[in-house]
Each structure stands twice: as structure tokens, then as C-alpha cells.
């Protein structure tokens, strides 16, 4: 039912925003350039959007940078992406001064030693920052995350540390990469694709979605604001009335 225009609305901004950075390849193709070129442009957009998210008061923002399925791409493209992640981390150091905490989610074991070290260093140096938590999902898959959580629980049961009756939603949540992070409120996916592609499948159980045809490199600060505005108009019921 349409809302009364005069109805007073309480605008509660999203605490945790997830962004599926998609469309880099198509953006490059439209310009007759290699896919790598699109990824570089996408990385620039990422750095801008991180700052704008902090500016508008978002507390947690998670960017999907590389999925557990993205290894299917050419070696050339995968290598270019990995190099770009490492380079981006150097640029992100400036954010530490702005009180931003950096965290990574995903299976790190398949990443290069140098990238892993660099990730750990960023996490360590920004550990006590409180203005915003920037989460980057690299070699992340929601199914992989849940599978790992279940494996640690099974191990604890076998070791006699846990009783199967103690397995609760809270326990599973505590074994995910996102541990104590709040659930995702809003998921933004540019590029016209209407799917999660294995992103935060547990955490997004009650998320709101914002889809746009804009390709990620063209995603503007205004687009982020628009997504937040649209989110604020939604009526979240969580199964209630």
C-alpha cells in the first residue's frame, strides 16, 4: 500500500553495506580495452567509494573483490587482479590516519605469501581504528565460509569440546569469517546482474537489495547515496508484521 506522504519516517541508515563490484570487464570491452584496464578503473572507484561511505556515516562496508569461483578466469586476469590487490593495499594505508579499520574475509591459504603478509599488516596496523570497518572479500565464497565453519564445529564435537545440542545460529555465526560483525543490511550490485554470486549468503538472510545497470567503474558517490536513500524507504519486517 502507498504510504501517506505526510507520514513521519524514521530514517535508519544501513549499518553494514555489502558491495558486489561487478562490470569491470564489460566497462573495458566497451572501450576496446583489455579486462585488466577495467579492473584498474574499478579499483579507483573502490578507493573513492570507501571514502564516501565513511563520509556519509556507514559503519561497516564489505567489498566483494574476488570470489572462490573467480579462479576460473585466465591466469593473466587472475594475476593482474592479485597484483592490483597488493598495490591497492599500499594506497589504503592513508585510511589508517582517518581511523578506518581494515579486515579481510575469505580463504587466504590460496593467496600468495606476499599478499597475505600485506593483508595481515594492514589488519594489524588498523586494529584499533573505530570510525568505519572496511572489509575486503578476497577468495571469498559464502558456501566455502559455511563449510569451514561446519568443519571446525565437527572437529570440536569429535574432540569432546562441544555437544551437538550446543550448535546454534550464534555458534555458527561465531565461526564465520565475519564473526562478530553485524549482518548485512544493504547489498548493492551494479552491472545489471540480479544475483548474489555466493556473496554473504548467511549474512544476507534479511538484507535489502539495490541493483543498478551502471558498471562498477562508473559507480558514483551519488549512486551510493541513492542506494542508501532507497534502503531507508524500505519497510523491513524480519518476519514480523
Q: Which residues bind Mg ion (CB under 5 A)?
A: 22
Residues 38, 75: Cα–Cα separation, whole Å: 16
DSSP state letter for 159: T
Question: Is residue 217 a contact residue for ligand IPE (CB under 6 A)?
Answer: no
Question: Is residue 173 a contact residue for ligand IPE (CB under 6 A)?
Answer: no
* Given 22, 139, 185, 223, the catalytic residue: 22
DSSP state letter for 109: G
Residue 70 a catalytic site member: yes
Judged by CB under 6 A, the residue of 14, 17, 18, 25 near ligand IPE is: 25
**Cα distances (angstroms) measured from residue 87 to each of 21, 81, 84, 120, 195:** 18, 10, 5, 15, 29
Closest CA to 89 of 127, 128, 21, 43: 43
- What does 185 bind: Mg ion, ligand IPE, none (CB cut-off 5 to 8 Å by kind)? none
Question: Is residue 67 a contact residue for ligand IPE (CB under 6 A)?
Answer: yes
Question: Is residue 66 a contact residue for ligand IPE (CB under 6 A)?
Answer: yes
Question: Is residue 210 a contact residue for ligand IPE (CB under 6 A)?
Answer: no
First-to-last C-alpha distance (Å) of the chain:
14
Nearer to Mg ion, 52 or 73 (CB): 73
Judged by CB under 6 A, the residue of 58, 65, 100, 224 near ligand IPE is: 65
> What is the DSSP pairing of strand 60-67 with strand 16-20?
parallel
**Cα distances (angstroms) measured from residue 201 to each of 80, 140, 213, 219, 227:** 27, 11, 22, 24, 20
Judged by CB under 6 A, the residue of 88, 129, 148, 197 near ligand IPE is: 197
* Given 4, 6, 24, 70, the catalytic residue: 70
Nearer to ligand IPE, 102 or 153 (CB): 102
Closest separation between CB of residue 22 and Mg ion, Å?
Answer: 4
Question: Is residue 81 a contact residue for ligand IPE (CB under 6 A)?
Answer: yes
Sketch the per residue contact string, 120 through 159, with ligand IPE: x for CB under 6 A, - otherwise.
Answer: ----------------------------------------
CB 177 within 8 A of CB 140: yes
Residues 187, 197: Cα–Cα separation, whole Å: 12
- What does 21 bind: ligand IPE, Mg ion, none (CB cut-off 5 to 8 Å by kind)? ligand IPE
Name the maximum alpha-carbon separation found in the chain.
60
Judged by CB under 6 A, which stretch of 21-29, 50-58, 127-135, 224-232 contacts ligand IPE? 21-29
CB 104 within 8 A of CB 126: no
Query: Please, which residues bridge with residue 140 across strands?
Result: 67
- Residues at the interface with ligand IPE (CB under 6 A): 20-26, 64-67, 70, 81, 191, 193, 195, 197
Amino acid at each position: 500500500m502507498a504510504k501517506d506522504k505526510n507520514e513521519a519516517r524514521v530514517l535508519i541508515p544501513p549499518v553494514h553495506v555489502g558491495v558486489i563490484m561487478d562490470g569491470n570487464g564489460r566497462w573495458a570491452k566497451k572501450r576496446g580495452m583489455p579486462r585488466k584496464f577495467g579492473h584498474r578503473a574499478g579499483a579507483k572507484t573502490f578507493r573513492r567509494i570507501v571514502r564516501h561511505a565513511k563520509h556519509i556515516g556507514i559503519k561497516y562496508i564489505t567489498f566483494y573483490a574476488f570470489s572462490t569461483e573467480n579462479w576460473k578466469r585466465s591466469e593473466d586476469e587472475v594475476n593482474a587482479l592479485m597484483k592490483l590487490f597488493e598495490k591497492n593495499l599500499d594506497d589504503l594505508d592513508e585510511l589508517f590516519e582517518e581511523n578506518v579499520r581494515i579486515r579481510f574475509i575469505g580463504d587466504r591459504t590460496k593467496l600468495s605469501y606476499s599478499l597475505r603478509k600485506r593483508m595481515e599488516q594492514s589488519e594489524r596496523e588498523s586494529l584499533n581504528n573505530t570510525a568505519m570497518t572496511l572489509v575486503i572479500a578476497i577468495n571469498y565464497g559464502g558456501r566455502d565460509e559455511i563449510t569451514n565453519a561446519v568443519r571446525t564445529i565437527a572437529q570440536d564435537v569429535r574432540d569432546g569440546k562441544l555437544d551437538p545440542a550446543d550448535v546454534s545460529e550464534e555458534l555458527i555465526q561465531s565461526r564465520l569469517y565475519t564473526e562478530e560483525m553485524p549482518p548485512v543490511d544493504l547489498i548493492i550490485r551494479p552491472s545489471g546482474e540480479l544475483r548474489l554470486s555466493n556473496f554473504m549468503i548467511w549474512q544476507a538472510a534479511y538484507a535489502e537489495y539495490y541493483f543498478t545497470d551502471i558498471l562498477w567503474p562508473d559507480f558514483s558517490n551519488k549512486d551510493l547515496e541513492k542506494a542508501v536513500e532507497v534502503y531507508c524507504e524500505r519497510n523491513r519486517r524480519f518476519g514480523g508484521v
